[in-house]
Amino acid sequence: MKLARFTHDGRTRLGVVEGETIADIGSADPTLPTDVLGVVGPDGLARAASLVAGAPRLALADVRLEAPIAVPPVFLAIGLNYAAHVAESGMKKPDAPVVFNKQITCVVGPYDPIEVPNVAPDWVDYEGELGIVIGTRCRNVSVERAPEVVAGYLVVNDVSVRDWQSATPTMTMGKSWDTHGPIGPWLVTADEVPDPHNLRLRTWVDDEVRQDSSTRQMITNCWEQIAHLSTAFTLLPGTIIATGTPEGVGMAAKPPRCLKIGSRVRIEIEGIGTINNPVVAQPLA
């Protein structure tokens, strides 16, 4: 099931994407939450699925897709998780997963603009990543049981302001600017992704392929990430985990090729979908 949050006729609600149409389950049941966060648990997903058959249909082209989860409880990310990206960054392969937070206010939708900060105009970079969405409150999850706590997957652009990222030992400031967390285009439920570790991931900037890899190249896989994180703290339903980016980021090119105002970044993950965001100047006010 591709569970989307969308706006049509000035009203935002939930729908299920089927081909080029969307089943308007929010109109079928007006008591349904208007954010995927409200249905990520097993009961909520079952309720959403039960409404599809009787829901009115809209053309996908006639609606605006929004961030599936507008305000996730937590937005976690894993750095240096593809060997080729470690190499291009000139770094040492980490002995343990490199974990950082993106502030939740960075989240925007699959087609919303990415802003270039006025105080950091030259080093805004893209990172195409597979995002995991947690569906069950959990702690101390084993690698073997990790698939059981996943609600589904989405595409993430872990936009990074490289000079701010490298200015301090922690990466939060460089990873958390407003608009620097595009996600979507919808949540693909876990039952439709038999193996998240065998998905082609590609990133284009202005129609030029910059990243072309596979999630099988992860150093620490999805289940190991969940086990590692949940050893220390409880994972809440709706938590997003960005699982790392492969090689091909703009910072590592010679010379560097970071994003410019007027560019467009498109990220596609096999079996999940595509996000496509224009790059704009940060508004002055």
Is residue 253 scored above 90 in pLDDT?
yes
Tokens of 42: 């097993």
Task: Report the number of distinct structural domains present in the chain.
Answer: 2
Mean of pLDDT values over 239-252? 98
Average predicted confidence (pLDDT) for the chain:
97
Do both 129 and 224 map to the same domain? yes
Per the CB < 8 A criterion, the answer to whether 110 and 265 are in contact is no
pLDDT tens, position by position, 37-82: 999 999 999 999 999 999 999 999 999 999 999 999 999 999 999 9
Do both 103 and 196 map to the same domain? yes
CA–CA dist 75, 95 (Å, integer): 22
Q: Is residue 70 part of a domain?
A: no
Is residue 7 scored above 90 in pLDDT?
yes
Is residue 285 scored above 80 in pLDDT?
no
**What is the predicted pLDDT for the residue at 284?**
85
Pairing of strands 2-8, 98-101: unpaired
**What is the predicted pLDDT for the residue at 241?**
99
pTM exceeds 0.95 for this model: yes
Structural domain including 24 reads 2-65
Q: What is the CA radius of gyration of the chain?
A: 18
Do both 42 and 169 map to the same domain? no
pLDDT tens, position by position, 141-162: 999 999 999 999 999 999 999 9
Domain boundary among the residues 20, 44, 65 is at 65
CA–CA dist 210, 158 (Å, integer): 15
Do both 179 and 139 map to the same domain? yes
